[in-house]
Amino acid sequence: MVPDRMLDPSTLGDHIDRLFRAAWALSGSRAEAEDLVQETFARVLAKPRRIRNEDDIGYLLKVLRNTFISSRRAAARRLAPEALDDRFEPVDHSPASRPDQAVEAREVFGVIAGLPDSFRDALVAVDVAGLSYAEAAELLGTKEATITSRLFRARAQVARGMKSSPQGVETGRG
């Protein structure tokens, strides 16, 4: 058994990419993902955190998921503001980004965000954040076999969702 240890705040930056991808998949929005990661870090840094194992990313993903669920519950209690037109995306001046990849990522994360919670959580934990099936099962409080089943179904739903998306529309010829 691994003894408890304190989470080292200086190592949080090592996990930002994986947390951001997980947050984007959970929320379906790049802007919401940035806010979600920031709120997760704020919660974790608000007080010292004791961790029971060597898995910082597993702990951070659990905090991220709980923060996401809390924010959705809070949003459900508030009046919904009028949504902005989704056709317009803020300009990303990053030289590494490519428009075709950005469009595809936005579509994939949008489809993932529309999955049922249990499927979305399994897919985010394994395919987006890179956890093993065992780590995902522990994080989500379920069995490894359940993770396998949920991943299979989630991936199939994402594939169907991408085929029916505007970029992936099939012509019916062939």
Please choose, from the candidates 45, 46, 38, 65, the residue with its C-alpha nearest in 3D space to the C-alpha of residue 125. 65
Q: 136 or 105: which carries more pLDDT confidence? A: 136
The ranges assigned to domains in the chain are 5-78+99-163
Tell me how far apart the alpha carbons of residues 24 and 169 are, in angstroms, rounded to a whole number: 23
pLDDT digits (tens, 9 = 90+) for 22-33: 999 999 889 999
The pTM of the full predicted model, rounded to 2 decimals, is: 0.54
Q: What is the DSSP track for the chain?
A: -PPPEE--GGGGGGGHHHHHHHHHHHHS-HHHHHHHHHHHHHHHHTS--EESSS-HHHHHHHHHHHHHHHHHHHHHHSPPPPPPPTT-------TT--HHHHHHHHHHHHHHHTS-HHHHHHHIIIIIT---HHHHHHHHTS-HHHHHHHHHHHHHHHHHHHHTSSTT---S--
pLDDT confidence band for 156 (50 / 70 / 90)? very high
Architecture of the domain made up of 5-78+99-163: Up-down Bundle (1.20)
pLDDT at 109: 86
Q: What is the DSSP track for 104-119?
A: HHHHHHHHHHTS-HHH
Residue with tokens 């999955």: 115
Share of the chain above pLDDT 70, in %: 79
pLDDT at 45: 87
pLDDT digits (tens, 9 = 90+) for 121-146: 999 999 888 899 999 999 999 999 99
